[in-house]
Amino acid sequence: MRGTLLFSDNPQAILPKRSAIKILRYQTKKEAERDFLAFDPLTIEGPVYTLINDAVDQVKQTVEGIEKLGDEKMEKIVYPEEALHEIVTNAVLHRDYSVASDVQIRIFDNRVEIESPGRLPGHVTPSNITRTQFARNPKLVRLINKFKNPPNKDVGEGVKTAFEAMGKLRLKPPQISESENSVIVILRHESLASPEQMVMDYLKDEPEITNLIARELTGIKSENSMKSVFYRLRERGQLEQVPKVKGKKPAWRKPIG
């Protein structure tokens, strides 16, 4: 089967319902219903190497046609290509090929859903997927990694890369879940809370916050950039600096009194 997936010009003729990708575009933010289909489902076929790249290109092209109302005008929807590429690659390389079903990519007005046949392999769960590795199809993964410009890096970092890519655009992280016989990854076009809001939310349950904790919380890398967030909150009267104590790191808190 690996040879068919990798080297056949048309694996789908030999492995029907197990080796293609279906792309569906629903013009709604709600659930997938036939009435919302923008066009007939597209079927992407070919050997795994081109299958992945062609599917990502088609998803990008479709997503770029979606607009949302911005502050003053309509704006294009943007998803990080790295996230799309890594999730589609994982859906193809790590799917369960014993399940007679194609990978499905459903594109909505506010999200992209990638459904891969089969449940997560081995000890992998939705909660530990960014911290653990287990390849269901290790030989397929290794062989395609030998291609020029392989879609995978064969180091188990794909999902982690997708999380990081979404974070760079300040979008919510991928949502991963399992149904009875598939894995579904949802990339939502929803912004994370602002750094200021994250700081204030943290202080609902904690008495104070340091620069380091705030950077880990918000994803801001620069200590000076994080200070700017604290200064803005201070100017609004929402924060004050904790009196300095020798041997203790500077911290911020809600104003007392």
> Quick one: 200 and 79 in the same domain?
no
Question: Of 160, 188, 216, which residue is a domain's last?
Answer: 188
> Quick one: 100 and 122 in the same domain?
yes
> Quick one: 220 and 167 in the same domain?
no
> Quick one: 182 and 199 in the same domain?
no
Question: Number of structural domains, the chain?
Answer: 2
Question: Of 145, 162, 188, which residue is a domain's last?
Answer: 188
> Quick one: 101 and 216 in the same domain?
no
The CATH number assigned to the domain holding 221 equals 1.10.10.10
Burial classification of residue 206, based on how many CB atoms lie within 10 Å of its CB (0-12 exposed, 13-18 middle, 19 or more buried): exposed
> Quick one: 142 and 199 in the same domain?
no
Q: What is the pTM of this model?
A: 0.79
> Quick one: 217 and 149 in the same domain?
no
Q: Would you put residue 25 in left (φ > 0), alpha (ψ -120 to 50) or beta? A: beta
> What are residue 114's DSSP bridge partners?
105, 185
> Quick one: 203 and 139 in the same domain?
no
> Quick one: 49 and 93 in the same domain?
yes
Q: Enumerate helices (H) and strands (E) in the chain, giving the number of each.
A: 9, 11
Domain that holds residue 236: 195-253
> Quick one: 184 and 200 in the same domain?
no
> Quick one: 146 and 201 in the same domain?
no
Each residue's pLDDT, cut to its tens digit, for the chain (257 residues) gives 888 999 999 999 999 888 999 999 999 999 999 999 999 999 999 999 999 999 999 999 999 999 876 666 788 888 999 999 999 999 999 999 999 999 999 999 999 999 999 999 888 899 888 888 788 999 999 999 999 989 887 555 678 889 889 988 888 899 999 999 999 999 999 888 888 999 999 999 999 999 999 988 887 889 999 999 999 999 999 999 999 888 888 999 999 87
Q: How confident is the model at residue 72, as a pLDDT?
A: 66
Q: Would you put residue 90 in left (φ > 0), alpha (ψ -120 to 50) or beta? A: alpha
Question: Of 161, 188, 215, which residue is a domain's last?
Answer: 188
